[in-house]
Structures are given as C-alpha cells and as structure tokens.
Amino acid sequence: MTRVVPPTTKTLVLSFVALFTLAAPAGAASLITLNFMGSVDLTSEGGGIYPYSGFFTWNTGAAPINSDPSEADYALADYSLIFNGTNVTLPVSSNGSANGLVVLNNADPFGTGTVDALAFFAAVGRPFDPTGDLILVGVLAGPTTMFGSTALPGDLNFLSQANSRFTAFLFEPDSPNEDESFLEPRGSLVITSQQVTPVPEPTSLLLLGAGFAGAGIRRLRQSRRNH
C-alpha cells in the first residue's frame, strides 16, 4: 500500500530543507579570536602612558567590504577594547567605519618595506586631544610569504611568521582642513591567547533543520488526530 503524504506536510518538509540549505555557508568556516595586551607612551603628543587590552574575532568565511590586489577590508565578528582602564568598545561596524580588520598582501603601508599583515583597528575616543578621534591599529606583520592573498587567515599558522607586532595610532581631526595622520609613537602588542571555534557546517545545519521539521510534522499529525 502506497502511503500518500498530505500536501501540507510535504510543504513543511520542503520549506525547512530550503531554509537551512540557503542559510548554510558555502564551506567550512571558523571564528578565530586573538586576545591581546600592550601599552603606548603618547607623552610626546600631549598624552600619557596608556595600557590597553582586549580581543578581536573574525569569521574565516567572511567576504570583504572593500578590496584591491594588495588590501582588503573586513567587518569584525566581535571585539573588545579596554584603553587606560576604560571600556571603549563600540558596536561592531558592518561597513568598517569605527572598527574592523585589514588584510595586506605585498603592501607597504608604513613606508618601511613590502610586507603581509593583519591589522585590527578600533576607535579609542579622545583620551587627551579634544579636537579629534584616536584610532588604535594593532598590526601583525611578516614577510610576503605570510599570506598568499588578501583573504582572511583561515587558521593560526600565520602567527609564526608575524615577526613584527605593534600598535599604531591614527588621529582623525574634526577640522575638514586637516588630514588624518599616524602619530609617531608606536605601542607594544602581545598576543596573550588565541581560540578557534568551528562554525556549524551545512550538513549540521541541515540536520538541525530536519529535526525541527520532524518535530513540526509530529505536532501537525497529533493535532489532526485530536480533531
């Protein structure tokens, strides 16, 4: 005897399968988190000696906001920044305006030679100069063999080649007649720990969706029996 599945049940199954198939990423991805700490002496700029710490996280499957052959900009998955004892963390910026990540491939951003680098940046606020905003830029730089493209690092292997680690500070003045510029002093950047968290793959999401669909079908059939 052939069992006929009611159209409403078929629709429910197909809807759940389609939903979780479309929502699933194209390939395996991970969330990578780097915890850091450091300090910078900005007394020559009219400030003080400031400690800072925090973390930043990226999704290895994220697409760039902007890109060219030597540089790509990405939104963060999450971050935290404590500067001079104050939590200056802002909401994650989807357009990379107040915080984000930059991947450099065969670039010379500081006029010191061609490098590969991963740079995290985030607004600090106005700790000493009320005429503009200070941006912390944490840089992990290495030889041009560190990256093969401007894609986000898919694992932590690049850290073994990141032999230049420092923070730079970008000043963005309020005045439209002044250009933004990097301050001369550089700070230290120490990676204190790291973590890799797998993002559920398409199969896992599809199985989860199938489980939800099965539960929905059981409730639907029970409701029909009760009526």
pLDDT digits (tens, 9 = 90+) for 181-219: 999 999 999 999 999 999 876 544 444 444 444 444 445
Say whether both 139 and 219 belong to one domain.
no
pLDDT on residue 61: 95
Q: What is the mean pLDDT of residues 1-22?
A: 44
In a domain, 169, yes or no: yes
Say whether both 152 and 119 belong to one domain.
yes
DSSP string, 198-210: EEPPHHHHHHHHH
Say whether both 130 and 212 belong to one domain.
no
Say whether both 74 and 164 belong to one domain.
yes
- Flag whether pLDDT at 28 surpasses 90: no
Least confidently predicted of 22-31, 129-138, 139-148: 22-31
Highest mean pLDDT among 10-14, 19-23, 127-131, 223-227: 127-131
pLDDT band at 155 (very low <50, low <70, confident <90, very high): very high
* Segment 79-111, tens digit of pLDDT: 999 999 999 999 999 999 999 999 999 999 877
Domain residues for the domain of 95 are 29-199
H-state helical runs in 52-201: none
Residue 144 carries which DSSP code? T
Say whether both 56 and 16 belong to one domain.
no
Calculate helix-pair angle for 7-23, 202-226, nearest 10 degrees: 160
What are the distances in angstroms from CA 30 to CA 146, 152, 194?
19, 11, 13
Phi, then psi, of 202 in degrees rounded to 5: -55, -40
E strand segments, 42-163: 49-59, 66-68, 71-74, 78-83, 86-87, 99-107, 115-125, 132-142
Measured CA to CA, the distance from residue 83 to residue 99 in angstroms comes to: 15
How many structural domains comprise the chain? 2
Say whether both 78 and 151 belong to one domain.
yes
Q: What is the mean pLDDT of the chain?
A: 84
